[in-house]
A = this chain, B = another copy of it.
Amino acid sequence: MYKAPVQEIAFTLKHVAGMAEAIDGGPLSDLGEDLVEAILAEAGRFATEEIAPLADVGDRQGARLSNGEVKTPDGWRDLYRNWAAGGWNGLTAAEEFGGQALPHMLNVAALEMWNSGSMAFALCPTLTMGAIEALNVHGSAALKEKYLARMVSGEWTGTMNLTEPHAGSDLGVLKARAERREDGTYRIFGQKIFITWGEHDAAENIIHLVLARLPDAPDGTRGISLFLVPKFLVNEDGSLGARNDLHCHSLEHKLGIHGSPTCTMIYGDGKFGGKGAVGWLIGEENKGLACMFTMMNNARLAVGMQGVAICEAATQKAIAYAKERTQGKAPGWRGSGMSPIIEHPDVIRMLLTMKALTQGSRAITYACAHAIDMAHRATERQEHWRERAALLTPIAKSFATDAGVDVASLGIQVHGGMGFIEETGAARYLRDARIAPIYEGTNGIQAIDLVTRKLPLSDSKQVRGFITELKAIAEAVRSSNLDGFGATADRLGSSLADLEDATSWLLERLAEGRSAEALSGATPYLRLFGLVLTGCYLAKGGLANTADGLGEGRIALCRFTAENLLSETAALKDRVVHGAESFAAARAVLA
C-alpha cells in the first residue's frame, strides 16, 4: 500500500527545486519551514490513510450513470467532503475567497500525493483548481463574488469543457454555440465530450467552464468565448435555484481512471426545461481561448504531477514485492533457499530505473512550480521566471507522464505473472497512467510547444541561460571530488553538450523557416531535455549537504542515472539532428 514519501518530497522541494532559497530571504520568507513540514505531513497522512485505501473500489466499481445522475464509487462522496473540509482545495487560492494563498510548490507536492493515492479521485479537485484560477484571473467581480468562495471551499466543483468529437487538439473548429440575451446572460447549446467529473454526486453544484462560439464570431480560435455555466442556477442569496439546461448524456468506458466520470455533456437540449443552458461570459467575447489557457497551463503541470504520482506509487509497490518474493538464487546470494528477487541484477536495474525516473520527474515538476511561484511573488526578474515556467511546463507534463507509463509498465514486469492479475494492483497504475500523455495537449503537442514557442523565448536567451545554470551543477559535481559520483561529472557534461547542440540545431532550423525538420525531432528533443534535467537535479540533490542521512543514497542513485540513463542523450541528439531526412521517403510506406 502506498505511503506518502513526505521526507523525500520535502527534500526535493527545499534542496532541489529552490524552496529553501526562496524561504531564506527570498519571496517565500513568510513561509516557515515548520508550516511546510506540517502541511506536507498532513497531506501525506490524508493521501496514505484516506485516499489510497479507496483507490481499488473506485477502479472496480467505476463511476456509474443512471437517469442522468452519476454515482461515485462507495465511500468517495465522504472522502471528497472530508478532503474539502481539510481546506486542501484552497491551498493556493486567494485569501479573499477563503483560500490560503500558499505557494504552488506546496500544492503540486500535495497533488502528487493525492494522485498517488488515487489518480481518478485527484482529478476532481485538479479540474476545480483550474476553474478557480481561470475565474479568478478573468472573471468579473460579480461572478467571482458569487462563485469563487464556494469553489475554493470545495463545496462546488469545476470542469473544463473544451473537446467536441471533431475538435480535440484543434479547438478552432469547435461548434458549441452561444446566444446573447438582453439581460446580459447567454444561452449555450451543444455537445462536449471527455468532460472529466462533468457530473457526480460528491458536491452540491458543478460549475462548468464552457468554450462556445457566438453567432457573429470570427472563424477559428479567435471566435471562441468562455462561459460559466452552473449545473444549478444560483440565487441572489447564494442558495441553489433551478436546474440549468444541461446534463450528462453518457459516460466513457475507459482503460483506466475508472472512478473518474468522463462525461458527454449536452447543453441546451431542453431535457431539464429551459431553452438553452444559461451562461455568463468570462473575460471578453471571442477571447475565450486566452482565458482557457490560464486553466490549461495550470492543468498541464497538474497532469505532470499525475505522472510523478504514478511513478512513486508503482515504484513503492514493486520494491515491496521484490523484497518479499523469493525466486532462484542471485549471483553471490549466500542466504539459505531462494533469494528475494530484489537481489537479481536485472530486477535491481528495473527498480533503480523506476526510482531515477520518479525522482527526476518529481524534481522537474517541482522546479516548474517554483518558477511559477517566483513569477508571481518575486520582486525582480518576474519575466525571467515566467519564461522559465513556460519553458519547463511542456517538459514537466510530457517527461513525467511518459515516465509514469514506463515506470508503471516496469512495475508490472517486476511482479512477474502476478503483475498481470488485476487484484495485485500493479496493472491499475499502467491503466491509469496511460491517459496522462494524451490529455491536456498530447505529449507530441507539448514537444511542438517546447520547440516552436519556448526555445525562442527572449531570443533563445532563456533556454541558453538555463543550460548555463545546469552546467554549473555538472561543474559542482566535478569540484566536489566525491568518489561516489563516479563518472557523473563527465556524463552530465557530455549530455549537456548534446542538449546544447540539439537546441542550436533546432533554433537554426526555426530561423530558416524549416519547421517540418524541427518538428520531426521535437519529441526526441523533449526527452533529451528531460533526461538532462533528471541527471542534473539528481546531482543537485546529491550535492545538497543535509542532515537527513540519505546523502550517500542520493549520490549513488545519481551515479546510476548518469552511467545508465544518460547514455541515451547522444542517441536522442542524433535523432533530432539527423532523423528528419528519412521521413519524406518513408512516409510512402504508410500509404
Measured CB to CB, the residues of A under 8 A from B are 163, 166, 168-170, 173, 193-194, 252-256, 319, 322, 326-328, 331-332, 338, 342, 344-352, 355, 405, 409, 412-413, 416-417, 419-423, 427, 430-431, 434-435, 437-439, 442-444, 447-448, 484, 486-487, 515-516, 519-520, 522-523, 552-557, 559-560, 562-564, 567-568, 570-572, 574-575, 578-583, 585-590
Residues of B within 8 A of A443 (CB): 413
B338 touches A170 (CB 8 A): yes
A434 touches B444 (CB 8 A): no
A552 touches B588 (CB 8 A): yes
A352 touches B568 (CB 8 A): no
B556 touches A585 (CB 8 A): yes
Which of A346, A351, A430, A484: most chain B CB closer than 10 A? Answer: A346
Which of A166, A345, A439, A487: most chain B CB closer than 10 A? Answer: A345
B444 touches A420 (CB 8 A): no
Contact of A586 with B421 at beta-carbon distance under 8 Å, contacts A349-B523, A405-B409 already known: no
Bound-complex Cα distance A473 to B60 (A): 52
B563 touches A582 (CB 8 A): yes
A589 touches B253 (CB 8 A): no
CB distance from A289 to the nearest CB of B (A): 14
Bound-complex Cα distance A322 to B349 (A): 36
CB distance from A502 to the nearest CB of B (A): 12
B327 touches A168 (CB 8 A): yes
A585 touches B559 (CB 8 A): yes
A327 touches B255 (CB 8 A): no
B560 touches A583 (CB 8 A): yes
B416 touches A442 (CB 8 A): yes
Residues of B within 8 A of A578 (CB): 487, 563, 567
B352 touches A422 (CB 8 A): no
A590 touches B331 (CB 8 A): no
Residues of B within 8 A of A515 (CB): 331
User: Of B331, B417, B486, B582, which contacts A560 at CB under 8 A?
Assistant: B582
Contact of A438 with B421 at beta-carbon distance under 8 Å, contacts A344-B444, A582-B556 already known: no
Bound-complex Cα distance A565 to B480 (A): 36
B331 touches A516 (CB 8 A): yes
Identity of the chain B residue whose Cβ is nearest the Cβ of A435 in the assembled complex? B420
Bound-complex Cα distance A169 to B419 (A): 14
CB distance from A342 to the nearest CB of B (A): 6
B254 touches A589 (CB 8 A): no
Can you give 9 contacting A-B residue pairs, CB < 8 Å?
A163-B417, A255-B412, A255-B427, A331-B519, A344-B519, A346-B447, A346-B522, A413-B437, A568-B568
Contact of A586 with B559 at beta-carbon distance under 8 Å, contacts A420-B254, A420-B255, A427-B434 already known: yes
Residues of B within 8 A of A421 (CB): 252-255
Residues of B within 8 A of A442 (CB): 413, 416
A348 touches B590 (CB 8 A): yes
Which of A437, A486, A585: most chain B CB closer than 10 A? Answer: A585
Residues of B within 8 A of A552 (CB): 585, 588
Bound-complex Cα distance A322 to B587 (A): 12
Bound-complex Cα distance A169 to B322 (A): 14
Bound-complex Cα distance A545 to B200 (A): 62
Residues of B within 8 A of A556 (CB): 582, 585-586, 588-589
User: Of B168, B328, B439, B589, which contacts A557 at CB under 8 A?
Assistant: B589
Residues of B within 8 A of A431 (CB): 255, 431
B571 touches A567 (CB 8 A): yes
Bound-complex Cα distance A586 to B567 (A): 18
User: Of B345, B347, B350, B434, which contacts A412 at CB under 8 A?
Assistant: B434
Residues of B within 8 A of A409 (CB): 405, 409, 434
Identity of the chain B residue whose Cβ is nearest the Cβ of A579 in the assembled complex? B564
A346 touches B444 (CB 8 A): yes
A516 touches B332 (CB 8 A): yes
7 further A-B pairs in the complex, CB-CB below 8 A; given A254-B421, A420-B435, A553-B588: A345-B516, A345-B583, A348-B586, A413-B442, A419-B438, A552-B588, A556-B586
